[in-house]
Amino acid sequence: MDKVILFLGMILIGYLTVFNAHSEQVDVTEVLKVELKRLTHKHSLEIIAVMKEYLPAILDQVAQELRYDADQKFKCSLLKDTAIKDDC
C-alpha cells in the first residue's frame, strides 16, 4: 500500500513540476508514461535483486523434491515383485 501511495505521489509531483515549469500546455499523458516506465524499471531491478538473494534456497528445495521423487521411483522398482508394498 505504501508503494502505491508513493507511486501516486511521485506522479503528482512530476505532473505539478512539469505543469508549473512551463507556461505552455504540457502533454500530461507523456509525462505519466515516462514516470511509469521509470518506476517499472526501478521495481524490476528490486525484484531481480530479491530473486538473486533467494535463488539458492529455491533451487535447493527443487533439487530436494527431485531427489525424493527419484528415490521413491527407485524404491518402488526394487519392491515391485516383493510382498512389501510401501507407498508404491
Ordered per-residue pLDDT tens for the chain, 88 residues: 677 777 777 787 777 776 655 556 667 888 899 999 999 999 999 999 998 999 999 899 999 999 999 999 999 888 888 878 777 7
Q: What is the rounded distance in angstroms from the CA atom of residue 62 to the CA atom of residue 57?
A: 9
Is 84 domain-assigned?
no
Instruction: Give me the number of domains the chain comprises.
Output: 1
The pLDDT value given to residue 30:
86
28 with 15: CB under 8 angstroms?
yes
Is 58 domain-assigned?
yes
Is 83 domain-assigned?
no
Q: What is the rounded distance in angstroms from the CA atom of residue 51 to the CA atom of residue 44?
A: 11
Cell readout for 48 is 531481480
Distance between alpha carbon 25 and the CA centroid of its chain, in Å?
Answer: 38
